[in-house]
Amino acid sequence: RRQAVEVLGSIPGTASARSVAGRLRDPDPEVRMASYRFFLNRPYRGIAKVLRSILSETDLESLSLSERKLLFTVYGAAAGSEGAPELAAALAGRRAFEQRLSSETRGCAALALARIRGPLARIALSDARSSQDPVVRNAARIALQGDV
C-alpha cells in the first residue's frame, strides 16, 4: 500500500489525490506517512478539512513523533491562515484538536505554524519563545528561524 501511494505521487490529477486521501487513515503508519508526504507540497481542495478531522479524532500521543511532525506540517501547509488559531492554541498549551497535547506535540504545532507564516502564526511563535517548556521554546525558535 505504501508503494502504491508513492506511485500515485507521480501521477498528476485529482483521481490520484482522491485515492491517496483514502489512505490517510490507513492502519499502517508507513502508509499514512507516505500519504502525508504526498500532500505536503500538492494542493488538493478539501484536504485541510480531512487532516483537521484526523488531528481531532486521533490520539496524537499514540503516534510516533515523526508521524506527528509530518501530520502537523502537512496540516499547516494545507490549512494556511485558517488553521492558525487552533495551532496557536496548541502551541500555547491550551486545549486544541479536542485534546491536551504533550510538549513534543506542541512543538509539532510550531512546525505547522512555520508553514503558515501569517501574522497570527508569527505572534504565537514569538510568544512561545518565552515558554517555560524547553521543547516548546526550542521548537518556536527553530520555526522562527525558518530551519524547518
State mean pLDDT over 23-37: 96
Looking up cell 505504501 gives: 2
Q: Is the pTM of this model over 0.85?
A: yes
pLDDT tens string 123-146? 999 999 999 999 999 999 999 998
Q: What mean pLDDT, rounded, does the chain reach?
A: 92
3-state secondary structure of 112: helix
Taking the alpha carbons at both ends of the chain, their separation in whole angstroms is: 28
| Structure-derived torsion over alpha carbons of residues 27, 33, 39, 44, reported in degrees to the nearest 10 | 10
What are the contacts of 3-6 at 24+ separation with CB within 8 A?
Answer: 5/31, 5/34, 5/35, 5/38, 6/34
pLDDT tens string 72-111? 999 999 999 999 999 999 999 888 888 889 999 999 999 9
User: Taking each helix axis from N to C terminus, what angle separates 47-57 and 14-21, rounded to the nearest 10 degrees?
Assistant: 10
Query: What is the Cα–Cα distance from 50 to 143, expressed in whole angstroms?
Result: 24
Identify the CA nearest to 36 among candidates 119, 111, 140. 111
Report whether 72 contacts 111 (CB < 8 A).
yes
Nearest-5° Cα angle at 49, 31 to 84 = 105
